[in-house]
Protein backbone atom coordinates (compact mmCIF):
# COMPACT_ATOMS: atom_id res chain seq x y z
CA UNK A 1 0.00 0.00 0.00
CA UNK A 2 2.92 2.30 0.68
CA UNK A 3 4.26 1.86 -2.86
CA UNK A 4 0.85 2.75 -4.30
CA UNK A 5 0.86 5.98 -2.30
CA UNK A 6 4.27 6.89 -3.67
CA UNK A 7 3.12 6.22 -7.21
CA UNK A 8 0.10 8.49 -6.71
CA UNK A 9 2.34 11.25 -5.36
CA UNK A 10 4.67 10.92 -8.37
CA UNK A 11 1.73 11.05 -10.78
CA UNK A 12 0.43 14.17 -9.03
CA UNK A 13 3.84 15.84 -9.22
CA UNK A 14 4.12 14.94 -12.92
CA UNK A 15 0.71 16.48 -13.63
CA UNK A 16 1.62 19.62 -11.68
CA UNK A 17 4.91 19.88 -13.59
CA UNK A 18 3.07 19.53 -16.93
CA UNK A 19 0.69 22.28 -15.88
CA UNK A 20 3.60 24.54 -14.96
CA UNK A 21 5.27 23.90 -18.31
CA UNK A 22 2.04 24.72 -20.15
CA UNK A 23 1.68 27.99 -18.20
CA UNK A 24 5.26 29.00 -18.95
CA UNK A 25 5.05 28.13 -22.65
CA UNK A 26 1.73 29.94 -23.04
CA UNK A 27 3.38 33.14 -21.84
CA UNK A 28 6.54 32.68 -23.93
CA UNK A 29 4.70 31.56 -27.10
CA UNK A 30 1.24 33.19 -27.05
CA UNK A 31 0.48 32.05 -30.63
CA UNK A 32 0.93 28.37 -29.78
CA UNK A 33 -2.81 27.73 -29.69
CA UNK A 34 -3.58 29.78 -32.79
CA UNK A 35 -1.50 28.14 -35.51
CA UNK A 36 -2.89 27.94 -39.07
CA UNK A 37 -3.66 24.21 -38.78
CA UNK A 38 -5.71 24.54 -35.60
CA UNK A 39 -9.38 23.88 -36.34
CA UNK A 40 -12.13 25.96 -34.79
CA UNK A 41 -15.83 25.45 -35.45
CA UNK A 42 -18.32 27.92 -34.04
CA UNK A 43 -22.08 27.67 -34.19
CA UNK A 44 -24.93 29.49 -32.61
CA UNK A 45 -24.81 27.59 -29.31
CA UNK A 46 -21.55 25.65 -29.46
CA UNK A 47 -17.84 25.96 -30.08
CA UNK A 48 -15.39 23.17 -30.94
CA UNK A 49 -11.63 23.71 -30.92
CA UNK A 50 -9.20 21.07 -32.20
CA UNK A 51 -5.54 22.20 -32.02
CA UNK A 52 -4.20 19.82 -34.70
CA UNK A 53 -1.12 21.83 -35.74
CA UNK A 54 -0.22 22.61 -32.13
CA UNK A 55 -0.41 18.92 -31.16
CA UNK A 56 1.79 17.91 -34.11
CA UNK A 57 4.36 20.59 -33.27
CA UNK A 58 4.50 19.62 -29.59
CA UNK A 59 4.77 15.94 -30.53
CA UNK A 60 7.71 16.60 -32.86
CA UNK A 61 9.54 18.71 -30.27
CA UNK A 62 8.95 16.11 -27.53
CA UNK A 63 10.16 13.30 -29.80
CA UNK A 64 13.36 15.15 -30.65
CA UNK A 65 14.08 16.07 -27.02
CA UNK A 66 13.39 12.54 -25.73
CA UNK A 67 15.56 10.97 -28.45
CA UNK A 68 18.44 13.30 -27.54
CA UNK A 69 18.04 12.49 -23.82
CA UNK A 70 17.93 8.75 -24.50
CA UNK A 71 21.10 8.92 -26.59
CA UNK A 72 22.89 10.95 -23.92
CA UNK A 73 21.94 8.75 -20.96
CA UNK A 74 22.12 5.34 -22.67
CA UNK A 75 24.88 3.24 -21.07
Residue 73, pLDDT > 90, answer: no
Checking if the pLDDT of 6 tops 90, the result is yes
Residues contacting 64, CB < 8 A, separation 6+: none
Tell me if residue 39 falls in helix, strand or coil: strand
DSSP 50: E
pLDDT tens-digit profile of 10-55? 999 999 998 898 888 888 888 878 889 899 999 999 999 999 998 8
Residue 67: the pLDDT is 95
- Between CA 12 and CA 22 the distance in angstroms is 15
Amino acid sequence: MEAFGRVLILIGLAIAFCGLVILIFSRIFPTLGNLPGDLRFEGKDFQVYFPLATMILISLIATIVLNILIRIFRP
